[in-house]
Chains A and B, each alone.
Chain A
Amino acid sequence: MAMFRLDPWAKAARCDDAAFREVELADFDPFAARDESVAVIIGNDADLVAMTEILRARLRSVDAVILQFPDFRDGRAYSQARLLRQRIGFEGDIIARGDVLRDQALLMARCGFTIVETDRSCAADLAESLLEFSAFYQRASDGQEPVWSLRHERSAQSGRAAA
């Protein structure tokens, strides 16, 4: 099992430095003193909507959150990642753990995952799959401008050029 950082520009580099002390959300004490990076494990049936306020406070000092894919067909963690990014404002790493297909890495990156844990794939494959699409129709959690925004940015620019 290895961790790969989902960064297309860094070619989905293997990240050997990503060593975390893992702790279940229920056991996590945000006030405990510590000297190592902490990753909080959240179950994919955890109701993050109901826990928004608690998580905002608790995850402030956390380095990473681990979300789970017990089966590649189980897509709950995509929504959980988006809630972590957009609702809870979590800025640390979000790690995808479990049954992850290389062909899902781009979807994960778009939803806010930064690291994929897998033995199925090598970094080159992941990088390839991250670059398979050049444009996106919808805004997600990866900062990519959707095409509807690019279309009008472009026409505004050409409008200015014409003026």
Chain B
Amino acid sequence: MYRYDEFDAAIVKDRVRQFRGQVARRLSGELTEDQFKPLRLMNGLYLQLHAYMLRVAVPYGVLSSRQLRRLAHVARAYDKGYAHVTTRQNVQFNWPALIDAPAILDALADVEMHAIQTSGNCIRNVTTDQYAGAASDELEDPRVWCEVIRQWSTFHPEFSFLPRKFKIAVTAATRDRAAIAVHDIGLRLIERDGDVGFQVLVGGGLGRTPFIGLQIKEFLPRQSLLSYLEAILRVYNLAGRRDNKYKARIKILVDALGIDAFREKVEAEWAEINGDGIDLPQAEVDRIKAYFAPPAFEALPDDDAGVESLAASDPRFAQWLAVNVANHKAPGYRIVNISLKDPDAPPGDISADQMDAVAKLAEQYSFDEARTTHEQNLVLPHVALRDLPKVWRGLDAAGLSQSNVDLASDIIACPGLDYCSLANTRSIPIAQRIARDVRAVGDENELGEIGIKISGCINACGHHHVGHIGILGVDKKGEEFYQILLGGSASDDASLGTISGRALSADETVAAVRRIFNRYKEERNDGERFIDAYRRLGDKPFKEAIYGDVQA
């Protein structure tokens, strides 16, 4: 993984020192809360319902065991003993005191971590495939380009006060695990005539007005990435709407101008920028690339008798192996998904002890590396097949052996009204009730891959638009109601879900989701995923399942 040199370290230390001064000015009363707000937001410090919330950047989701242990320490020393993995692959602490924020940032800076640009109207943490560098279906390691973008976008003087926040995702795999089509800019590494470059999408996003990103550039040579990003951002910074924050994202500008007119502006700007010394020289790309060289994989056989015999004798291990373990590009290695979706805990929460346990396993069995995922889980990217039983036992002992990755109880949910000052409704209890229902009925394996995503308000932090089943909380005269959306996807088959009908109470929602499951089981072909069955059948049978014969 990338390691700081003296320049990177100095920039982060400078930022901590600057923020310490800003906090002191706030505490002394020199700054009002109103003046302090934009300053703290640029360092990931939000004022939530009950307390401050600190969002720590995990650049493109990559963590060393040392960093994980430091996060565990912060959770113990400054929070209530746990942390929360976000849909931007970041980590949030929900209970820090303002006065402790600089000390927390110092503790993080020691392990090359920070909270820079985790909020505010700037370029946010760039995200990628959690299987990067390990996936069998990837062209090259996308993290090299994520790090290039991270450096370019950090304290970019021109793009720190954009009309609205700006999110970039990169993938290099055939299967899109980074949801690039629902980002302000989505980048896919592709090969053309022996050259590698980027397919560039722009204007995707969720929120109140969801859009699937459109192609602005079919093939951008790799070496021109930063100048092209600079051109897009400059056009957006100058022309994006600033009169209404709900119409300020780039997707609204792209939609208003049309993709062709927008492209024309960007291409003209890009042509002019050419030669401004924005793009990196090959030597710098190579320097960054060297940090992402594959670890020293052993030459191992791609089968293991110990794993097979344990799978034959222990159905829990067999289930975990079938559901949470994915293929690796190196023979004899596997990718291990760690689910943070225990039906009895908020989705994405992890305790300090669990972080320490994962750190130890990463150190011993995964070349010292762990990942966060935008689905709010963790990954050990490089585990030898023969070590899977030991890793599983270690996870099981830490309460982290939930075998439900990509299944119905692997639900993305925003913090909702339990924590968030914007939310209309709670999200977490709905997620937990659906998960418990699936466990009680015992048909999770039978249901197979189903992505359920829940947002507690129209800001869509729970990505409900791209859930195979999406749930949106709405307030009706002070009561919590939920709309069910069907048919969304954030992967390479990206699509937006459509609202099925009138909103339902919490009880009705949980019951309706069960009826959707049952209808799917009746209607599906052999091996057909829920989303594929929905696309084949249309919404009629599922609307019937939700509302019965009564008109929705």
Contact = CB atoms under 8 A, between A and B. Distances in A.
Given A101-B38, A110-B157, A133-B11, A148 B237 contact: no
A75 B237 contact: yes
A124 interface: no
Nearest to A46: B238
Contact of A148 (B157, B159, B160, B280): B280
Contacts of B157: 78, 106-108, 110-111, 138, 140
Interface residues of A, number: 36
A76 B281 contact: no
Given A73-B121, A134-B14, A151-B287, A78 B151 contact: no
Contacts of A47: 238
A135 B161 contact: no
Contacts of B272: 87
B298 interface: no
B520 to A, nearest CB: 46
A111 B158 contact: yes
Contacts of A106: 157
B237 A76 contact: yes
B161 A133 contact: no
Contacts of A139: 276-278
A75 B14 contact: no
A75 B38 contact: no
Given A73-B38, A133-B11, A78 B284 contact: no
A79 B234 contact: yes
A136 interface: yes
A74 B164 CA distance: 10
A147 interface: yes
B54 to A, nearest CB: 19
Interface in B137-175: 151-152, 154-162
Contacts of A101: 35, 38-39
B10 interface: yes
A129 to B, nearest CB: 8
Interface in B274-304: 276-278, 280-281, 283-284, 287
A101 B152 CA distance: 23
B17 interface: yes
Contacts of A79: 158, 234, 237-238
B151 A148 contact: yes
A78 B278 CA distance: 17
B444 interface: no
Contacts of A138: 151-152, 156-157, 226, 278
A152 B283 contact: yes
A101 B272 CA distance: 31
A137 interface: yes
B161 A151 contact: no
A5 interface: no
Nearest to A70: B242
A72 B161 CA distance: 8
B248 to A, nearest CB: 10
Contacts of B161: 72-75, 78, 104, 107
B518 interface: no
Interface in A62-93: 72-76, 78-80, 82, 86-87
B38 A137 contact: no
A19 interface: no
A49 B269 CA distance: 8
Interface in A85-132: 86-87, 101, 103-104, 106-108, 110-111, 129, 132
14 contacts: A49-B269, A73-B38, A74-B242, A76-B237, A80-B238, A86-B276, A107-B160, A107-B161, A129-B18, A133-B14, A147-B7, A148-B281, A151-B284, A152-B281
Interface of A: 47, 49, 72-76, 78-80, 82, 86-87, 101, 103-104, 106-108, 110-111, 129, 132-140, 147-148, 150-152
Interface of B: 5, 7-8, 10-11, 14-15, 17-18, 22, 35, 38-39, 121, 151-152, 154-162, 226, 234, 237-238, 242, 268-269, 272, 276-278, 280-281, 283-284, 287
